[in-house]
């Protein structure tokens, strides 16, 4: 970033190189950021509930209102319970479904295997 890049890097690092201050700052960032996101989402929902959403078509939507709490809360809870049950079923009855079969090759400390590769999410 022109003009402020070096200053920003020094501030994030807490000095001229990565150190304990850097790790502490990023730990705090990773701890506080989810709470800040949840707070912004709640504020957004409160404002949206208070003023209503945009209506670009100009159609009167007062006849098609669905109560938010009873309908969407139950729908989300049912979906969450279903997904958690599916995850528990996969973890308990087929734990090796998503693992790499080459993990079961006995370890040989004298030779590096040819099949070593990064996990799939690092290859994206």
Which two three-digit tokens encode residue 2? Answer: 């022109």
**Tokens found for residue 113:** 């295997």
CA distances to 47, 60, 66, 67 from 63, in Å? 21, 7, 9, 12
Give the position of tokens 């809870």. 77
Whether 44 is catalytic is no
Considering 30, 50, 53, 69, which one is annotated as catalytic?
53
pLDDT of res. 113: 76
Closest CA to 67 of 42, 47, 49: 49
The per-residue pLDDT for 14 is 84
Active-site residue identified among 24, 61, 75, 102 = 75
Let me know if 6 is a catalytic residue: no
Is there a catalytic annotation at residue 75?
A: yes
Q: Pick out the chain residues at pLDDT < 50.
A: none
Q: What's the pLDDT score for residue 10?
A: 87
pTM value is: 0.44
> How does DSSP classify residue 49?
H
3-state secondary structure of 108: coil
Number of CB atoms found within 10 A of residue 40's CB? 10
Q: Output the furthest CA–CA distance in the chain (Å, rounded).
A: 74
Considering 49, 61, 100, 102, which one is annotated as catalytic? 49
Q: Which of 24, 44, 76, 102 is catalytic?
A: 76
């Amino acid at each position: 970033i022109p003009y402020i890049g070096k200053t920003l890097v020094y501030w994030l690092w807490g000095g001229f190189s990565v150190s304990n201050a850097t790790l502490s700052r990023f730990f705090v960032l990773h701890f506080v950021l989810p709470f800040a996101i949840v707070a912004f989402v709640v504020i957004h929902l409160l404002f949206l509930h208070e003023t209503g959403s945009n209506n670009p078509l100009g159609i009167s939507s007062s006849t098609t209102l669905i109560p938010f709490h009873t309908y969407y809360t139950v729908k989300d809870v049912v979906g969450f319970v279903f997904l958690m049950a599916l995850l528990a079923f996969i973890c308990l009855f087929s734990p090796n479904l998503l693992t790499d079969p080459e993990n079961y090759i006995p370890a040989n400390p004298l030779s590096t295997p040819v099949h070593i590769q990064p996990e799939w999410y690092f290859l994206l």
